[in-house]
Structure 1
């Protein structure tokens, strides 16, 4: 039976590239994002190995139902890629927008926690993997960056979750990229990391033998 990967933030960018790469490697993929139209287009491109599930990842019940739909369709859940994330328009603390921080924290922190909480019971059954998108910004300090602070949380959480999952033979990895050419930026960044580069790192992690636990992959642009 093919293994199954659930991806949040799957409708574009890194998430969509990972879905295509994982499907090419023989995985079933459950695609979660808020944009039903984009998900349907991606699922149609991938074919029968894909399941589109419109889902707000800040909604705990919606995530629980998404996991139920995934296991009902594919029979099990072997891995999760918590990729959904966002940034802010107002940098700094003094001039920052607390309303933006609220949304940022819900997506970059709470949604990761909710995703782990909803999927760990299934991952325990398969001794599966939990992968999460971190950032260079979660390894270095950036002046007044609340976004960076959320990614520091992600990196710390991934390490702690790895220790928890180790108790049942599961694994957790944080994928830590520098600048990636996605819609996150207003202008294209063709010389920077591409979504496919991150997707390749995720698939590499997924395909490691049971004896190997990759805890972090840190990628930087070669420019």
Structure 2
């Protein structure tokens, strides 16, 4: 059996399939969105972890035969963690537009499009982190890792900060030609490569389920 987890904006969905891709069970745990100001759209990353546990429990079947987990989720969100792996603030989601000024400033620098192959949109991760640098410098100074929402969920499951290429291309920091983080663009953001997750292709193994989380979720450790 294989378990799929989809971190959506309004809910986290769990899908269990057999080796022939027949659906065995499915479950959804709802998520709430906070909009404290016009253009702001946020979620507490800790709610994702709770929703993940709830969705898996909602499958209502024995998970001892699960061989692997696949992840999908909404892109572009800025999940900022401290050195202990604790979220520093609510995650700014893909549809949060507060960083319009930061995005425009980045896009005015031709290096961003040349390296990333894309316009810098306000919803992308890099301008969101620039907004934090400009408006919440105390939080910015404590950033140990910048993760996308799906990758924050993976980090909770495995303890490994990892991302894959397609999601990372939506941060405005990925050198799409080199398939690697751009040190030049990170430097322009006041960040370093050490604050980024490692990169894998979407079909690669990206981590293994930790023993403590496996026990909590009723899944085999190490898958």
TM-score for both structures, normalised by structure 1:
0.34
TM-score for both structures, normalised by structure 2:
0.34
Pick the structure with more helix per residue: 1
